[in-house]
């Protein structure tokens, strides 16, 4: 039985943020002709093709620069990280390896892939969401928090 945490529920800001993400992904394919998959854009820098470094670097600089633009207008929203350093390292290794092996992450498969109705991305999205649900269940309710 699922109990909804109504105090944490923020449907409006979530939807507005989602629309901005969709606008960015849409603008990127329509202007630069590229899929806005963050793991692919970052991973592609490890062995870049010709003329590849500038747009990849610029996109990532925009993402990393977003908080700097934000704080001109408002205080940054909470970014709470509860994971310990060993867990962060393990998680980073898994995310890096997994997104390269599976050709994408939440943005590439979850947003762009589903937006272009790719069955392959639908499978990937269901699998990583399922693995995410299962992992949090085990970490929080079987092992009792990490």
Partner 1 sequence: MSYPFSAFATGLVFGIGLLVSGMANPEKVLGFLDLAGPWDPSLAFVMVGAILVGLVAFTIARRRVTSFLGQPIRLPTATQVDRKLVVGALLFGVGWGLAGFCPGPALVALGAGKAEAAIFVVAMVVGMAFHDLFQGRIAKAVSPAAGQDMR
Binding of residue 144 to partner 1 (CB under 8 A): no
131 binds partner 1 (CB under 8 A): yes
Interaction residues for partner 1, span 1-40 (CB under 8 A) = 2-5, 8-11, 13-36, 38-40
CA quadruple 78, 84, 89, 91: dihedral, nearest 10 = -70
> Does the footprint of partner 1 cover residue 83 (CB under 8 A)?
yes
- The reply to whether 48 sits near partner 1 by the rule CB under 8 A is no
What is the total residue count of the chain?
146
CA distance 19 to 23: 6
Asked if residue 72 binds partner 1 (CB under 8 A), the reply is no
| CA dihedral of residues 115, 110, 37, 39 (deg, nearest 10) | -170
Contact 40, 59 (CB under 8 A): no
Q: Find the binder of partner 1 among 72, 75, 76, 143 (CB under 8 A).
A: 76
Q: How far is the CB of 59 from partner 1 (least distance, A)?
A: 4
CB of 72 to partner 1, least distance (A): 12
Distance CA 81, CA 91 (A): 13
């Amino acid at each position: 039985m699922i109990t909804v945490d109504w105090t944490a529920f923020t449907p409006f800001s979530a939807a507005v943020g989602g629309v901005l993400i969709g606008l960015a992904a849409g603008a990127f394919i329509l202007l630069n002709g590229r899929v806005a998959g963050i793991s692919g854009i970052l991973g592609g820098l490890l062995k870049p093709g010709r003329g590849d470094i500038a747009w990849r670097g610029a996109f990532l600089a925009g993402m990393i620069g977003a908080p700097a633009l934000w704080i001109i207008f408002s205080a940054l929203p909470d970014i709470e990280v509860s994971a310990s350093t060993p867990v962060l390292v393990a998680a980073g290794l898994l995310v890096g390896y997994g997104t390269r092996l599976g050709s994408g992450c939440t943005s590439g498969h979850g947003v762009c892939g589903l937006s272009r109705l790719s069955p392959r991305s639908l499978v990937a999205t269901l699998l990583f969401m399922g693995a995410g649900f299962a992992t949090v269940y085990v970490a929080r309710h079987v092992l009792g928090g990490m």
